[in-house]
Amino acid sequence: MAAWVETLLILLTLTNLTLVAMSRLGACIRTVALQGIVLGLLTICVHPHTPSLYVLLLAGGSIGLKSVVFPLLLGRAMRDTHIRHEIEPFVGYGVSILVAALALPVSFWLGSRLPLPRPASTLIVPLAFHAILTGLFLIVSRRKAITQVLGYLVLENGIYTFGICLVQESTLLVELGVLLDIFVAVFVMGITIFHINQEFNHIDTDRLSALRD
Partner 1 sequence: MQLLFVGVGLLLASGLVCLMLSRRPRAVAIVGPAGAVAAALLGIVPALRVVGGEILPPVQWAWSVPYGSLTLALDGLSAWFLIPVLVVGGLAAIYGARYLGSYARYKALGPPWFFYNVLMASMIVLVLARNGMLFLVAWELMSLASFFLVMFEAEQESVRRAGWIYLVATHLGTAFLLALFVLLGQQAGSLDFALFGKTGWVGGRAGLLFLLAIIGFGTKAGFMPMHVWLPEAHPAAPSHVSAVMSGVMIKMGIYGIVRTLTFLGSPAAWWGWVLIAIGLTSGLLGVLFALAQHDLKRLLAYHSVENIGIIALGLGVGILGQVCGSPVLALLGFGGGLLHVLNHALFKALLFLGAGAVAHGAGTRDLDRLGGLLRRMPVTGVTFVIGAAAICGLPPLNGFVSEFLVYAGALHGIASLPVSVMLSLLAVVPGLALIGGLAVACFTKAFGIVFLGEPRTPEAAGAHEVDLSMRLPLVLLAAGCVGVGLLAPLVVGMMAPMLAAVSGVDATATGESLAGIRSLLGQVAASAVLLLAVIAFLAACRRRLLAGRPVTSAPTWDCGYAAPTARMQYTASSIAQPLIRLFDVFLRSRLDLSAPRGYFPQDASLHTDTPDVFQEHLFQPTLRAGGRLLAGLHWLQHGHVQVYVLYIALALLAALVWKLG
State which of residues 148, 157, 161, 171 lies at the interface with partner 1 (CB under 8 A): 148
| Ramachandran bin of 82, using left for φ above 0, alpha for ψ from -120 to 50, beta for the remaining angles | left
Query: Under the criterion CB under 8 A, does residue 140 sit at the interface with partner 1?
Result: yes
Give how many residues touch partner 1 by CB under 8 A. Answer: 21
Q: Which residue lies nearer to partner 1 by CB, 110 or 166? A: 110
Q: How many residues does the chain have?
A: 213
At its nearest, how many Å lie between partner 1 and the CB of residue 133? 8
Query: Under the criterion CB under 8 A, does residue 99 sit at the interface with partner 1?
Result: no
| Neighbour count for residue 101 (Cβ, 10 Å) | 12
| Strand partners of residue 144 | 204
At its nearest, how many Å lie between partner 1 and the CB of residue 206? 5
| Ramachandran bin of 52, using left for φ above 0, alpha for ψ from -120 to 50, beta for the remaining angles | beta
Q: Which residue lies nearer to partner 1 by CB, 49 or 113? A: 113
At its nearest, how many Å lie between partner 1 and the CB of residue 187? 18
Query: Under the criterion CB under 8 A, does residue 96 sit at the interface with partner 1?
Result: no
Q: Which residues make Cβ contacts (< 8 Å) with residue 187, sequence separation at least 6? A: none
Closest CA to 149 of 195, 190, 181: 190
| Ramachandran bin of 201, using left for φ above 0, alpha for ψ from -120 to 50, beta for the remaining angles | left
Query: Under the criterion CB under 8 A, does residue 142 sit at the interface with partner 1?
Result: yes
Query: Under the criterion CB under 8 A, does residue 139 sit at the interface with partner 1?
Result: yes
Q: Would you tell me which residues interact with partner 1 (CB under 8 A)?
A: 90, 110, 113-114, 133, 136-137, 139-143, 148, 205-206, 208-213
